[in-house]
Amino acid sequence: MPILETKDLGIQFGGLKAVDGLYIKIEKGQLYGLIGPNGAGKTTVFNLLTGVYQPTSGSFYFDGEQISNSSPVSINKKGIARTFQNIRLFGDMSVIDNVKVGFHNSYKYSMLEGVLRVGRYRKQEKEYHDKAMELLKVFGMENEAKLLASNLPYGKQRKLEIARAMATNPKLLLLDEPAAGMNPNETAELMETIRFVRDNFDMTILLIEHDMKLVSGICEEVTVLNFGTVLAQGKTETVLNDPKVITAYIGEDD
Amino acid sequence: MSKKIKSRNLDKYITYSFLILIFVISQLLVMTGVASNKFEGLLVPISVYVLLAVSLNLVVGFSGELSLGHAGFMCVGAYAGSLFSLLMQNVITVWWLRFPMAIIIGGLVAAVAGFLIGIPVLRLRGDYLAIVTLAFGEIIKNLFNNMYLAIDKNGVFFSMNASAYTKHAFDAATKQDLIKGAQGITGTPNDSNFVICFIVIMICVIALLNLIDSKTGRSIKAARDNRIAAEAMGIDVTKAKMTAFVIASFIAGMAGVLYSHNLRTLVASKFDYNLSILVLVFVVLGGMKNMRNVIIATIILYALPEALRALNDYRMLLYAIVLIVMMLLNNNDKFAAFKKKLSIKALIARFNTKGGVK
């Protein structure tokens, strides 16, 4: 059973079909790429899958369960977490607190226990503090734990977004242009980290990316979107060499 | 790793010791008779304003919502607490038993009001939320301003109409006025004093600082910093904002009870827009987010006009100048750096490093 399956998924804003008739099947443990030129509707697909937008047609299934039309909160609780293309960190909070926000639904103590500092509070705060530090270590940010998130350099902000999303303990991680604004060295390092995360945290990853090196380097399968519809789909090497895809990206020969 | 927790706790303990220090100094001044009667009379109102400011800080600073109706919740609490005390005056004669109950009841009723008003209000954002909370504050004030409540042997009389009250045939012998429209509530026992105010402040500040540094506090701050991201992380944003709003209303209600038990006559017209704005000024000039600074700002800004009373007309001018200077300094990087050097935390850090050299 695929972990994520969309059936004829689409959304229409007024007369504009931003996404139309999308069929994607992602198997558990896969690294799946979603690519396409600017304005193709990639981020809109993410917004549909995380409940930010409600689809106007079709539906999608997560782990066999139909969850289209759910709220962002309940979709996250089901096990889908995401990062954002335009970084959306909690800027006035420390780096480690950003990760702890991701753990929010894992904490089991009540508000009263938190206020009175009794019961499960101390044990769980310690437990998730250590877990948060572990996650930060994966991204090489353990020394920045106390900094304000908004004071981090750009590349690290992107990494913190991934760490925060992972803290919600998802089965499926949606990464929206994780390498945007990174130099080639940072991108290579990020590729390693993404692979490491997939292998060690038992996660399925769907990512949007413009960096073809990264896509061809780590994605096993890709879907190419153009003007909201699927242009090509399948094994990464096959798709990236497809003349239709090349045309969509660099224009037609005269 | 544990350093972070330590530095956070240090900040808390500085706040607690600061509060205790102020309390001890004020008590000493009063007990030794150095302080004037006027100073003594200011202690309870200042405490009430400190409570209002720290609770509003939870909504404005930590939840990031501009609420302009805080006086309304104080009003609800003040009336509920006063009514309780009036009715129970002869039932529970021990004041130190009755008064804490009144405080809690005032807080609870205000919290319920906060919850009910929060349902429609927290659907709004930004300016709209400010406008609607302002309106609710005024509505609450006007409701109590036109409310008549009395009891006699025939039962309870309640009306929102002044003429219905005057026309009603009361049994004169057993009639007891509880709320008398614009004349408000009279005869509330004077149970309030500085010690109780201090205890309530300590409990509230400890509870608030603990709350902020727990998962609930983090969800409140996350909802403030980025609503969409907070939802994507599985945080119920409305619930987080509602929690902050209700807790703030609860504390404002308790402040109202402390306030009303310090007065002979409680009138609703006190709880107007100006009061909400005054408290907001304390919070904003305290720099928001930092409880200790908000408390300091409240004490200074409340005491200042009183201290300057001798200057008559010039005092409001001076008050305005202080406000402007504080605003400018708050936004000045150089002053912020200077302030950091002078802060207690920095002093402790310096002391620590010196000890390390030895």
Classify residue B192 by burial, with Cβ atoms within 10 Å: 0-12, 13-18, 19+.
buried
Q: What is the mean pLDDT of residues B156-185?
A: 88
pLDDT tens per residue across span A155-188:
899 999 999 999 999 999 999 999 988 888 889 9
pLDDT at B346 over 80: no
With 60 as the cut, is the pLDDT of residue B128 above it?
A: yes
User: What is the reported pLDDT for B66?
Assistant: 92
Instruction: Specify the range with the lowest mean pLDDT, choosing from A128-132, A187-191, B314-318.
Output: B314-318
Amino acid B172: pLDDT: 83
pLDDT score for A24: 94
Instruction: Determine the residue type at A112.
Output: L
Write down the pLDDT at residue B113: 96
Distance between CA B21 and CA B43 in Å, rounded? Answer: 14
What pLDDT does A254 receive?
A: 57
Q: Which of A36-50, B227-241, B322-336 has the lowest mean pLDDT?
A: B322-336
Mean pLDDT estimate for chain B: 89
Q: Which residues does chain B have within 8 Å of residue A92's beta carbon, measured at their own beta carbons?
A: 221, 224-225, 289
Give residue-wise pLDDT tens across range A59-115.
999 999 999 889 999 999 999 999 999 999 999 999 999 999 999 999 999 999 999
Residue B8 pLDDT: 67
The mean pLDDT of B145-156, rounded to a whole number, is: 89
Assess whether pLDDT exceeds 50 at residue B3: no
Instruction: Give the pLDDT confidence score for residue A158 in this predicted structure.
Output: 92
Establish if B345 belongs to a structural domain: no
pLDDT at res. B6: 58
Number of A/B CB contacts below 8 angstroms equals: 101
Among A59-63, B35-39, B301-305, which is the least confidently predicted range?
Answer: B35-39
Q: Residue A155: enclosing H or E segment and its boundaries?
A: helix A154-167
pLDDT of B290 > 90? The answer is: no
Check residue B64 and give its pLDDT: 92
Place of tokens 């996650």: A135
Task: Tell me the pairing of strands A31-35 and A221-226.
Answer: parallel
B97 lies in which domain range?
43-271
Do B233 and A76 lie within an 8 Å CB cutoff? yes
Domain annotation covers residue B155: yes
A250 pLDDT higher than 90: no
**Inter-residue contact B127 to B121 (CB < 8 Å):** no
Which residues are CB-neighbours of B141 under 8 A, at least 6 positions away?
B71, B72, B75, B268, B269, B271, B272
Burial B93-114 (b: 16+ CB within 10 A, else e): eebeebbeebbbbbbbbbbbbb
Q: Where along chain A do its domains lie? A: 4-87+168-250, 90-151
Q: What is the reported pLDDT for B308? A: 80
pLDDT at residue B248 in the model: 97
Give the integer Cα–Cα distance in Å for B229 and A103: 13
- Mean pLDDT of all residues belonging to chain A: 92
Q: What integer pLDDT is reported at residue A223 of this predicted model?
A: 94
Q: Which residues contact B52 (CB under 8 A, 6 or more apart)?
A: B70, B74, B251, B252, B255, B279, B282
User: What distances in angstroms separate CA B108 from CA A45, A155, B130, B143, B318, one per listed residue?
Assistant: 46, 48, 23, 19, 39
Alpha helices, H only, chain B = 2-31, 37-57, 70-88, 95-121, 126-145, 162-167, 194-212, 215-225, 227-232, 237-260, 273-285, 291-307, 314-330, 333-342, 344-357
Q: Give the model's pLDDT for residue B20.
A: 96
Q: Which residues of A touch B (CB under 8 A)?
A: 50, 52, 71-73, 76-77, 81-82, 84, 88-94, 96-97, 100-105, 107, 109, 111, 114-117, 121, 125, 129-130, 133, 145-146, 164-165, 167-168
Predicted pLDDT at A253: 60
According to DSSP, residue B272 is labeled S
- Give every CB contact of residue B9 below 8 A, 6+ residues apart in sequence: none
Higher pLDDT residue, B38 or A58? A58
Query: Are A129 and B5 in contact (CB < 8 Å)?
Result: yes
Q: Decide if B119 is inside a domain.
A: yes
Q: Going by C-beta distance under 8 Å and a sequence separation of 6 or more, which residues neighbour residue B174?
A: B151, B152, B153
Which chain A residue's Cα is nearest to B61?
Answer: A92
CATH of range A4-87+168-250; options 3.40.50.300, 3.30.1280.10, 3.90.180.10, 3.90.226.10: 3.40.50.300
Selected residue of B209, B215, B243 to mutate for chain A interface (largest A Cβ count, 10 A):
B215
CB A215 within 8 A of CB A231: no
CA–CA distances in Å: residue A214 to residues A218, A244, B145, B193: 6, 20, 68, 69
pLDDT band at residue B354 using 50, 70 and 90 as cut-offs: low
Give which of B248, B300, B279 is closest to B42, Cα–Cα. Answer: B300
Q: How far apart are alpha carbons B141 and B268 in whole angstroms?
A: 5
Half-sphere exposure of B229 (CA within 13 A, CB side): 26
ipTM, interface predicted TM-score of the complex: 0.91
On the question of pLDDT at B124 being above 90, the answer is no
Residue at B292 is within a domain: no
The pLDDT score that the predictor gives to residue B327 is 79
**Local confidence band at B1 (pLDDT 50, 70, 90 cut-offs):** very low
The answer as to whether B75 is a domain residue is yes
Distance CA B159, CA B167 (A): 11
- Which of B216, B225, B233 is nearest residue A168 as measured by Cβ atoms? B233
A208-234 exposure pattern, b = at least 16 Cβ within 10 A, e = fewer: bbebeebbebbbebbbbbbbbbbbbbe
B210 closest CB neighbour out of A77, A114, A165? A114
Contact A87, A150 (CB under 8 A): no
Judged against a pLDDT cut of 90, whether residue A213 lies above it is answered with no
pLDDT for B159 beyond 70? yes
Lowest mean per-residue pLDDT among A25-29, A245-249, B20-24, B157-161: A245-249
The span from the CA of B128 to the CA of B188, in Å, is 37
Q: What is the pLDDT, as a whole number, of residue B285? A: 86
Q: By CA distance, what is B8's nearest residue in A?
A: A146
- DSSP for residue B124: S
**What backbone phi and psi angles, to 5 degrees, belong to A224?**
-105, 125
pLDDT tens digits for A112-166? 999 999 889 999 999 999 999 999 999 999 999 999 999 999 889 999 999 999 9
Q: Residue B319: which pLDDT band, with cuts at 50, 70 and 90?
A: confident
- Name residue, tokens 């706040």: B15
What is the share, in percent, of chain B residues with pLDDT greater than 90?
59
Predicted pLDDT at A1: 84
- How confident is the model over B147-172, as a mean pLDDT? 88
Both tokens assigned to B87: 């009715």
Write out the two tokens for B116. 């009910």
pLDDT value at position B56?
96
SS3 string of B245-263? Answer: HHHHHHHHHHHHHHHHCCC
* Residue-wise pLDDT tens digits, A89-100: 999 999 999 999
* pLDDT higher than 90, residue B139: yes
Q: What whole-number distance in Å separates Cα of residue B231 and Cα of residue B247? A: 22
